[in-house]
Structure 1
Amino acid sequence: MAFKRSFHTTSKNLKNNETNNLKLVDLLKHFEQERNGCEQLVEQSKLVDRFFFDSDMNNLSILVQFFKFLLHSIHRSRQTVAKLVIRLPGSKLLDFSYAHLKPHSLIDENQKDLLEKFVLVLSQILQFLLELHPQCWEQIDSLGLFDRLDKWSTKISDEDVQLEVSKLISRKDELLKEHTSKIKKPKSEIEIKTEPDDQPPDDFHQLSIYPTLDEIFQQQTPYLRKNITTGQYKNGTHYLDIHFRLLREDFLWPLREAICQYMSEDNRDISFRNSNVRLYRNTILTGSICSQAGILFSLLIDVSMLPRSISWSNSRRLIYGNLLAATFDDFDSSCFLLTVEDRSNIDKNGTINVRCQKALCDYQLMKIPPGTRFTLLETTSYFEAYRPILQALQNIKDDQIPLEKYLLQCDTNVPIPQYFEKKSDIDFRPILVKTSGEYNEFNGTLSDIKDLSTWPNAQQLGLDQSQYTALQLALTKSVALIQGIV
């Protein structure tokens, strides 16, 4: 009881150095005796860091005791234990565990019983970790833990231990098989149907503006038809379908290409470059926010990885509406499509708020523990410029397309504007070059919009020939498409 009183005195004030003087084994005994010991530990971040990174944990007895404590706590507070277990990747505990799993022949006979217990609890903890975060199997595998545990199980006669190791290895093999089947070959070429009359496989009105994972990883070939430049569209649906899919692919293709490049290269190489995206590594999910706009997620950007010259007040980076592809496993099995909602705090603390843009995305992202590190790819094309146009194309009624006569039927006989049909006089005097010799000639007269011979010439209007032609087209046609020259 003297220990408990001493501990409670110090645990109330974690900023004091007194807690640091307590041995980890004594701290662990205290938490084991408390009904809500796991909850107490989670609330004390400095102590959590000690359990996961302190060299004192490089002790077989303490490791067994700590893993047993976590396993016993699962029944009372699974979610709380998950917050601790999810920290195993990247901690010192897995390195310590590997070091203790020496070849069986090198183990002291006095430690073999303890090591068998260790193999059991470690196998169970890793199963729980893979249940929470399947993608971390590669990191565990790279440490050699699976192989060491598998070899140890053949030397152990206890069937319970053998069973737990077997379950762990089987789960690892399943994840390896899934990973192998998901390896994708990068593709940059998109097949476009040469026959514009082909029937689409689905109704474009029902398509999400945001792409599916199959579309991003190109397991599903985009259905595209060429724009009709000669001839007519069959109807409004034909016109809208072609343009919706082409415009959607226009913003999707650069993102797909960048992800394929990222996956095909050594994605740990800091020299990754692609002009279509901006890369943000070591982005940390810090939590979710309930706002009037719905559920938002807060991300901490590692600004130390970015150019120091960025002026966030003027930068186009991470502005409202920009599209992000987020992954915590280098796009092996995770890809969240997000849009930036708010970056007002990025100068202050490096955080931005984002919104999920796919069905069930909110639920899936909320299952990921805060502290998980993500990689972000941000499209350089401004997605917010595409979104309203794509929505408008889906919302336009097929029989109410503006300028249908010209856009669908491709009628090249464009009449004079209706407002000139009854009275076609026009006064060019306000735009005449007043220093021209012909100014007085037109000073008291009007021109006939239908008779180009009555118009002032380009020089009199201070225009070059292309500008003069554009002016004629704009005034004499009810529909005109004029492209400026930079």
Structure 2
Amino acid sequence: MSANNNSTAFSRLKKAQDEPNIYHNPSKFSSNLPGNQSQSRRNDDFNRRPNDRSQRPLDSIPLNNRPRGDGRHFGSNRMQTSSKRDGNHVFPNVRGRVDPKPKYEVQMLDISKTKLSYGKLEQLSTDEDPLKVAVELANTFNGLDYLLGQDVFLKERPDWIILITKNLTKVCACDFPENKVKVLNVVFDSQFIDFIIHCLQKLSSSSDKQRIESFLKDIHTLLETLIETFPTSSMEKLHPPVQQVFAAISCMEQFEEFRLTETIKTNFTKLDSRLRELKATSEKLLDKNKKLDDGEPPEDFRTFELYPTEEEIRCKSHAFLRRNIVDGGYRDVEHYLDVQFRLLREDLMMPLKEGFAELTGKLSRSDRGNLKKINYLRYFEHCSFLSITIAYGTVSYNVCFDMNRKLNHINWEYNQWFKYGSLVFFSFDNFSTFLVGKVAEKNNKTCREDRIISVELIGTKELQANEWGKKVSMVESTIFFQPYYHVMKALMNFKESNFPLKRYIVDVKSDIRPPVYLHQNSLFEIDGFTFDVLNDSAWPSAEKLCLNEFQYEAFKAALTQEFVIMQGPPGTGKTYLGLKIVKALVGYKTNFVDTSSDIFPSVFGSDGTRSSPIVVVCYTNHALDQFLEGILKFTKKVVRVGSMTKSELIKPHELSQLRFKVCDRGIDSAYMTLRNQMKDIITQINTMKQNLMNIDGRKGILKLRYLSRFMSPAHEKQLGTDEKLVQWLLMTNDFVLDDRFHEFQYKNPEGHTNDKKEIELVDSDSEDEIRREFKNEKFKNLHENILYT
């Protein structure tokens, strides 16, 4: 069609625009914003109609000067007269007339869902800063995901697709990964790659070689970045589009004097090779994983140490791992336990290995690097072992940490350093070798004032005598060990015979059965209502049970199904509902009421059937205490496992307190014997600890029974008693004192120990004076008062 014909057609089109009912229904878009006139103005930039420049063939219009949103096809026959015309408008099918009604309703953008107009995209495409473009497109408010989801709109507007692709290539050049990946994720999850191929196929017969090559370069950059960012997912999703690009290039080169540069074709060939490589690697990996999944473990996982060892942390070989099964069930319980244990242990060990590799690397350098920033580890340089102590019934060491480091900004009340059970490692040789331990006790006051924590050493290595007080380096693992320890220990203790809920966890059955205890009696008494919980019609309404609709359904599921998971955001009443469930179960007389014990729930029900206590597990000690305080309002049969409670209401219910009461009743005499032996040992340790402190403080004279083991039999026999020891120490001519004044502390007749007597030692001639002073009535019992007991 000639240019005159183009002008005539568009003139008729312009005239027809004054009749909006022929082209689109304005009411469809005017409802989103108040006022049709305002909406029309705001839509103008999104759905621009052809202007005077549109009278030229599209191929002759530069990309930045083409009309926005004209939606015209790229093709050699795009100006031919036809009965219909794709795009924003209905074109005349009979010369001089237009159809009274459109054949379809034109797709337009909802400006309330995206701010990325054609003008906005043009502006971004000229911006030299890729980060700015990435930030704009990553902003959810701008609605990139909505725009890329408008398939009908984009398929009929290749100019939009070319412009969006141009902007996406700028995002690919961005060095800020967070926004870059966010945008590429939106692109990958949409059908935009298919729209690009659709647009490229329409461009196949275009004569504008420069524009096509520019578009192909942008496509290559986008596809290459997507492949590098999402290699696994790209194998299947992006290989067909790359093949379609080759087909489009072949179609273009069928025209005479149209040849694309070899660089473009080479780049797409490399993309195709890269995708084939990824697919081959993936198939090998799948085959390897299948062999691993079907293979048997080299050893029983129960032979592993629960605590990490130095050998394990330094080991560079890969652990035997099998994938967690997310589709289908496990072969048996042992298969499930082995897979879960090894994955959990590797989740603990891998960060430790990475952290120690980074630490030893920095320590081996002359500048030592920044030791305050080590992945998964917290480094303390100037530390020392001070003394032995008893923390929670275990022999521990008082450790002074990093006195030279300024830690005044640390709030020890809320700080996560040195949590109970955290792993710590000590080394005297820059971690060529090290000791493994765990935090036994952390007192906020001593941490703040004296920088002292209590640590229990793990394993066969012990602290040597010459290492006391010596400078030692310490690192703390930022991976909290306690949860791993207890879960791994529980997995080790499970067997086929005692594994719970095998039907759902191992066999992955989806039909949930009622609890076993309901087989005998399904009557519950809840809030004054007695009813059969298995009879859905017998249930009281949600209002009568003081529950909302969702809580009501969850409550019913908890009482009628043996496997239930309930979740919800904060403030939805999970704690309230949990207490209501526990109260209902405790009140279930058949299995959960026991009058024979004031402390523990019954092990067997009144009818002889097996029964179980209710186990409550919380993420924090505070949350657990709050929940248990709620339970105490309707039952006192509560046992709190662990000794970290701060609630005075819960302390009498701690396991450490209750088990002593049980043993005193003669339930377990063997345990009583061991407990008494342990108390004696702890007493001896505390006595020795006090003696060591007294010796270090040089405040007096030890009794003969403490010194006799270090004396020869002749000396022990010669001294005989503590009195003779004191006389020998004080009355001989060859004794030496460092100070001119020596202070003795004694008890006065009232029993006080604050009266003191000073003896001045001038020279050996004053011995007679000392003897006379010693014989004085005030010093008759001096030896009794300066001996440590």
TM-score by length of 2: 0.31
Rg larger in structure = 2
TM-score by length of 1: 0.49
